[in-house]
Structure 1
Amino acid sequence: MTQQLKVELGQYSHQGRKVINQDFYAASIPQNYVLQHKGIACALSDGISSSNVSHIASQMAVTGLLADYFSTPETWTVKTSVQRVLTAVNSWLYAQTQQSQYRFDKDRGYVCTLSALVMKGHIVHLFHIGDSRIYRLQSGQLEQLSTDHRVWLSSQESYLSRALGVNPKVDIDYQSYVLYENDIFILMTDGVYEYCSSEKLTQFLTQTHTSLDLIAQQIVEYAYQQGSIDNLTIQIVKVQELPQVGAHEIVPDYTQLAFVPSLNVPTQFDGYQIVREIHNSNRSVLYLAHEIDQQQLLVIKVPATDVQQDPYLTEQFLFEEWIANRIHHPHVLAAYVQLRPRNYIYHTMEYIEGVTLKQWITDQQQLVPLDKVRQIIEQIAKGLQAIHRLEMIHQDIRPENIMIDHLGTVKIIDFGACRVAGIREMTKDVEEVALGTMAYMAPEYFLSESVTASSDQYSLGVLAYYLLSADLPYQTNIAKCKSKKDFRKLQYRSLSYYREDVPLWVDKALERAVQIRADHRYDDVAEFVYDLIYPNPKFLTLKRKSWVDRDPVMFWKAISSLLFLLLLGGVALVSHFNTIHF
């Protein structure tokens, strides 16, 4: 069995010299698939002594985090998942205070601190708000990783500058570190760390042949003996084994499946009957098939021969199906649900009775009307938003990867180049590979810069431009760029070169969407689509540039050519008159 993340956990809490224990702690160590995709999580919370209900806040914060985190999509990063959950927890705590008799005295309301960690793959993610602490013991060196959110007014007086439940919005500290075997992470409330020095803590933690549960209890008892007057809670997590991470660890186990044999009409296998071949490429072969039991048409995608001979490419083929099963949107190709066991490696997808956008453009035999372009781009943008909400980037938006049916409904297809944030964060070293088609790829792919949803927006902008002009906004000049300086020199070519029926404000919207610098583009594809449909006031005040301003080189070449022709004409005329005179 593949090696998975393995830890040893030690926890202990005591009310100390207080009447009740307002601290709360918990940990979750799932197994198998959930462990791979969501990792191990633990958290502790400390209520504030001025509140009689803060123990409720502490329990809600910890249990809410651990319950809801494991319900978030596997495609999300740990950071996104935890921050979304804690935002909801904070809102609930704040609302409870606002609806209680403590709404005018927040220090007596549903308020608490929180420190949490999630170990996923080879990375540990830390989240912190308040004055609990997170430490790491690595190679015998103890280091405090969290920052106390406590402001000291004097040696005797202080207050929490940040905590859960205090305000409608919450700011949570986040950090991530690479995991190494034998790393030890410690979460503690102030009732422990204020009465146990770093030296003493290290001494406890470096004991051999002692369980972490016992060590946790020893540390709490020591802090109590040193005079701690608060509740005392500690969690200790030691990394024992790091997991193996690869595509074959992410997708379900297909090692027992065979590759699909040669398929011909009317071959039957796994309950399907082949109708005809739809498409054949170096990556895959698509077949239109008929599900015999359900009397339903569908598409079967089979890995090409070259893919079958490469384990990595086979894993990527399987991963594509994993992605498709997690996107549910009317403008994204849907996976066809299989209700029976399979014996071979293949995908099943919904059948769209239509053509690719590339074929559709060819069939038009003319430039596409602006209104039709808007309809197409708006549908693609909605599909992209669904993909982006799952923290995925399609990375290969182009005419060949868009289907359009006879009703004009548009769907995004092919997830072979898709980037999934929640998967990429599993390892400490992730190689950036430029995928997709060069003509539609954003400059950041070539400049080794961060690839974001804005990169898909760039591709969508290029596609819109192509639909309107049958050309590319920077022609083929991107392929000639070798450095960031070369990219900065590129000039957007106005649509007015190709057609005069497209308003200037539409041209400007396209120009912004395909900016070389990602931070100069729209913040979201929805803004781009809105500016394609409704005039942006910023663009209405602009005027079309004259020919000399738009392309001075071409202008002066034309003038030079005209002057040369006039000169030739003049010479010919003079020669003619000289001949007559002679």
Structure 2
Amino acid sequence: MENRLTIALGQHTDRGRKPSNQDFHGCQIPTGAMLDLKGIALAMADGISSSDVSHIASETAVRAFLDDYYCTSDAWSVRHAVERVLTATNGWLHSQSQRGDARFDKNRGYVCTLSALVLKADRAHLFHVGDTRIYRLNDAGLEQLTHDHRLWVSPEEHYLSRALGIDETVELDYRSVAIRPGDLFILATDGVYEYAETAFILQCCRECAEDLDEAARRVINHALDNRSRDNLTLQIVRVDSVPRDTTPDFHATIADLPLPPVLEARASFDGYTILRELHATSRSHVYLAEDPDSGERVVLKLPSIDLQQDEDYLERLLMEEWIARRVHSAHVMRAGPQTRQRQYLYTVTEYIEGQTLKQWLNDHPQPDLETVRDLIEQISKGLYALHRMEILHQDLKPDNVMIDTHGTVRLIDLGAARVAGIEEARTDVDPLALPGTALYMAPEYFMGEVGTARSDLYSLAVLTYHLLSGRFPYGPQVAKARTVAAQRNLKYQSVLDDERAIPAWVDETLKKALHPNPDKRYQELSEFTYDLRHPNKAYLNKTRPPLLERNPVAVWQGISAILAAAVVYLLVR
């Protein structure tokens, strides 16, 4: 079996007994890295007979899906990319209807059903709205994977309850299923599945296994013979092979390029002049270099000798530059220019003149609250830029934050980042690998769970807490809490102390952001940074000191008066 996703495809459409064909279908099978990162996409749309422009809606929906899906970011998951594309398509179709008479009658507008199938790595992603259908062949016959959005008025009369273009927004059904070689998927309009028996469809697929186009034609002709009164469209997809892994671009680079030697100052390396070593660890050697052609200074990151045989590490090293080339933010490091063919395995990123947040904190051990707010807000902007691309940093700590000479804060070291689109394409993920530094990692990582944007938010809150106090909210206990019960017993240590002027409501903000349960944290980075600067009314009421602390003399005087009154009452009785 070859290490690529391959399919066999059969398609056919017919207007049937209608004067025109309002159905539209299509398939896109890319090559190379695009096949691994985006997969194979198929779509089928069915117009509605009450509309004279429904055929335009069908064609537009399918073409827009197949074209625009492949223009979305490689970092996005299939679901996020498709939903963004189809939401935009739905908005366009609805706006076209609103410009004409169809604004008074939805059934005469730019409306159609849509079923789409994206095959990527070892999974099939299904998107559906309307009453076209997607089936999968199994031992019991054809399994319907989609649900018809029909509202029945009577046994004879029904209408679509959901479709593209009907409303300003569209609610798409989504489903993901595992695939393996030999799996057969069928996309069909109601003109086919209501008039072709399952047994006949399966017979055609078996008899025409080498020519699925012929199988689709036979099924449609059979439906016509059974007096189908609608347009008829059928797509048959057979999965012939599923890849063992789907990051061949990284693996090919690792296999093709030799590992670099240890470098010295003033050495010439791959066209660069090495100026000096910035730092060396057990994981990598980092050098400041200059491009003689442009005079630009860049940072070269080379794998350490100890890890040169670790393919997972080398892949993460290349991933770091891959991400930096796709995220555009003033608060995330940029990749270096691609000006020459590389002869060795290394990465090139921009040189940021400045110091790490760790060094800055050594120089400023007790930063004031306003300075901390400014730093955290800039870091959050970098995280937001990553999250918008469905990328988690996963290793936020002072060492991985740079402050340049202008005071701009930049996120660096993206080697532990999790890219939704790449992770979705993997077939050999190690769920036990911890991505970051224990003191800054969210508790859910130690439970073996996959991180979310709220995991990065937790790390940002730990960083905030540490900048304000020099301590950590739970000490080293988080890494030891590997059960729900243990995490429930984690005790938050207040950031407030006698040495720093920190409002009590800031402590409450941190407490919420640092909750062991991600569902009880802030939902968005912006909510956290806003509450760091603006007193939340709920926290103001909650953090008001009790009367005993505010005026203990009055409390005890009141208690004494109550006791005296009780004694008098008892004596009178």
Mark yes or no: TM-score above 0.5: yes
1:397 aligns with 2:396: yes
Give 3-state SS (helix, strand or coil) of 2:101's partner. coil
Counterpart AA for 2:292? I
Q: Does 1:111 align with 2:129?
A: no
Between the aligned partners of 2:503 and 2:424, the Cα distance in structure 1 is: 43
Give matches, 1:530-545, under 5 Å: 530-544=530-544
Counterpart amino acid of residue 142 in structure 1: L
Q: 1:500 deviation in Å?
A: 4.6
* Contact 2:208-2:215 at 8 Å conserved across structures: no
The question of whether the paired residues in 1 share the 8 Å contact of 2:36 and 2:246 is answered with no
* 1:496 Cα deviation from its structure 2 partner: 1.5
Alignment pair present for 1:33 and 2:36:
no
Deviations 1:330-385 (A, max 9, x none): 10111111211111111111111111111110111x31100100110000000000
Residue in 1 aligned with 2:182? 182
Residues 335 and 348, structure 2, Cα contact 8 Å, conserved in 1: yes
SS in 1 for 2:265: coil
Distance verdict in 2 for CA 1:266–1:500, change over 3 Å: closer
2:415 aligned residue = 416
Residues 1:152 and 2:142 aligned together = no
**Structure 2: distance between partners of 1:119 and 1:225:** 33
Q: Does 1:73 align with 2:102?
A: no
**2:390 partner letter:** E
Does structure 1 conserve the Cα–Cα contact (< 8 Å) formed by 2:36 and 2:247? no
Is this contact kept in 1: 2:13–2:233, CA < 8 A? Answer: yes
User: Contact 2:515–2:521 at 8 Å: present in 1 too?
Assistant: yes
SS of equivalent to 1:456: helix
CA distance in structure 1 between the aligned counterparts of 2:393 and 2:120, rounded to whole angstroms: 24
Secondary structure of the 1:299 match is strand
Q: For residues 547 and 182 of structure 1, do their structure 2 counterparts lie closer, same or farther at Cα, with a shift above 3 Å needed?
A: farther
Cα pair distance change 1:148/1:98, threshold 3 Å: same
Contact 1:36 1:250 in 2 (8 A): no
CA contact (8 A) 2:69 2:81 kept: yes
The Cα of 1:25 is off from its aligned counterpart by 0.5
**What are the ranges of 5 or more consecutive residues in structure 2 without an aligned counterpart?**
550-573
Aligned mates of 2:323, 2:252 — CA distance in 1: 12
Alpha-carbon separation, structure 2, partners of 1:498 and 1:380: 28
Check conservation: 1:251, 1:322, Cα contact below 8 A.
Answer: no
Change (3 A) 1:246 1:26: closer
Runs of 4+ in structure 1 over 6 Å off: 546-549
Q: 1:406 Cα shift?
A: 2.6
Say which SS state the counterpart of residue 262 (structure 1) adopts. coil
Instruction: Find the aligned partners of 2:543 and 2:64 in 1 and give their Cα distance.
Output: 56
Task: Name the CA distance, whole Å, in 2 between partners of 1:148 and 1:122.
Answer: 26
Aligned residue type for 1:520 = K
1:51 aligned residue: 51
Distance 1:478 1:209 in 2: 56
Residue 194 of structure 1 pairs with residue 194 of structure 2: yes
2:322 corresponding residue in structure 1: 322
TM-score under structure 1 length normalisation? 0.91
Conserved? CA contact 1:26–1:62, under 8 Å: yes
Amino acid aligned to 1:342: R
**2:331 is aligned with 1:331:** yes
8 Å CA contact 2:254, 2:314 repeated in 1:
no
**Counterparts in 2 of 1:233 and 1:209: CA distance versus 1, 3 Å:** closer
Q: Deviations over 1:87-146 (max 9, x none)?
A: 001101110111111100000111100011000111110011101110011346321111
Q: 1:295-310 to 2 correspondence within 5 Å?
A: 295-310=295-310
Q: How does 1:431-470 map to 2 (within 5 A)?
A: 431-432=430-431, 433-470=433-470
1:490 is matched by which residue type in structure 2? L
SS at match of 2:97: helix
Equivalent residue number for residue 13 of structure 1: 13
Residues 253, 383 of structure 1: CA spacing in aligned structure 2 closer, same or farther, 3 A cutoff?
same
Distance across 2 between alignment mates of 1:414 and 1:458: 18
Does the CA-based 8 Å contact 1:118-1:124 persist in structure 2? yes
The change in CA–CA distance for 1:270 and 1:183 in structure 2 (over 3 A counts) is same
Shift of 1:319: 2.2
Change (3 A) 1:479 1:23: closer
Question: Which secondary structure does the structure 2 equivalent of 1:367 belong to?
Answer: coil
Offset, 1:421: 0.8
The answer (yes or no) to whether the contact 1:282–1:304 under 8 Å persists in 2 is: yes
* Counterpart Cα distance in 1 of 2:74 and 2:301: 24
Partner SS for 2:297: strand
- Do the aligned partners of residues 346 and 2 (structure 1) sit closer, same or farther apart at CA in structure 2, a change above 3 Å counting? farther
2:392 is aligned with what amino acid?
I
Q: Secondary structure at the match of 2:207?
A: coil
Per the TM alignment, residue 293 of structure 1 is displaced from its structure 2 partner at its CA by 0.9
Quote the Cα distance in structure 1 between the aligned partners of 2:209 and 2:68.
Answer: 36
Structure 2 partner of 1:512: 512
Shift in alpha-carbon separation, 1:431–1:259, aligned structure 2, 3 A = closer
Q: 1:215-239: per-residue Cα shift (whole Å, max 9, x none)?
A: 0010001000100000000011111
Query: What do you get for the CA RMSD once the two structures are aligned?
Result: 1.8
Q: How far 1:479 sits from its partner (Å)?
A: 3.3
Residue 317 (structure 1) shift: 1.8
- Paired letter, 1:68: D
What letter matches 2:359 in structure 1? Answer: Q
User: CA offsets per residue over residues 430-480 of structure 1, 9 Å max, x none?
Assistant: 332221000000000012234100000000000000000000111222233
Q: Distance in 1 between matches of 2:403 and 2:253?
A: 34
By how many angstroms is 1:499 displaced? 3.9
**8 Å CA contact retained: 2:24, 2:44:** yes
Deviation at 1:489, TM superposition (A): 1.2
CA-CA distance at 1:257 after TM superposition: 1.7
Contact 1:96 1:110 (8 Å CA) reproduced: yes
Instruction: Report the AA paired with residue 132 of structure 2.
Output: S
SS of the residue 1:36 aligns to: helix
- SS in structure 1 opposite 2:103? coil
Structure 1 equivalent of residue 120 of structure 2: 120
Q: C-alpha separation between the residues in 2 aligned to 1:71 and 1:460? A: 32
AA of the residue aligned to 1:93: L
1:294-317 per-residue CA deviation (whole Å, 9 max, x = no partner) reads 111111111100121223322222
Query: Which residue of structure 1 aligns with residue 131 of structure 2?
Result: 131
Q: Does 1:101 align with 2:101?
A: yes
Q: What is the match of residue 479 of structure 2?
A: 479
Q: More displaced, 442-451 or 225-234?
A: 442-451
Q: Which residue of 2 aligns with 1:203?
A: 203
SS, match of residue 475 in structure 2: coil
Determine the C-alpha separation between the residues in 1 that align with 2:436 and 2:96. 49
Change (3 A) 1:269 1:450: closer
Q: Counterpart in 2 of 1:573?
A: none
Q: Deviations over 1:500-542 (max 9, x none)?
A: 5111121111111111110111111111111111222222222
User: What secondary structure, in the 3-state scheme, does the structure 1 residue paired with 2:256 have?
Assistant: coil
Cα deviation, residue 547, structure 1: 13
Instruction: State how far apart, in whole Å, the 2-side matches of 1:548 and 1:352 are.
Output: 53
Secondary structure, aligned partner of 1:258: coil
Deviations 1:473-503 (A, max 9, x none): 1122223324211111112111222545111
Change (3 A) 1:252 1:384: farther
Kept in 1: contact 2:195–2:228 (CA 8 A): yes
Q: CA deviation at 1:251?
A: 6.2
Q: Structure 1 residues 12 and 300, CA, compared in 2 at 3 Å: closer, same or farther? A: same
The aligned residue for residue 502 of structure 2 is 502
2:213 alignment partner in structure 1? 213
* TM-score normalised by structure 2 residue count: 0.93
SS at match of 2:104: coil
Is contact 1:53-1:109 (8 Å) kept? yes
Distance 1:459 1:84, change over 3 A: same
Whether contact under 8 Å (1:512, 1:522) holds in the other structure is: yes
Percent of matched pairs sharing the same residue: 48
**C-alpha distance in 1, partners of 2:500/2:310?**
51
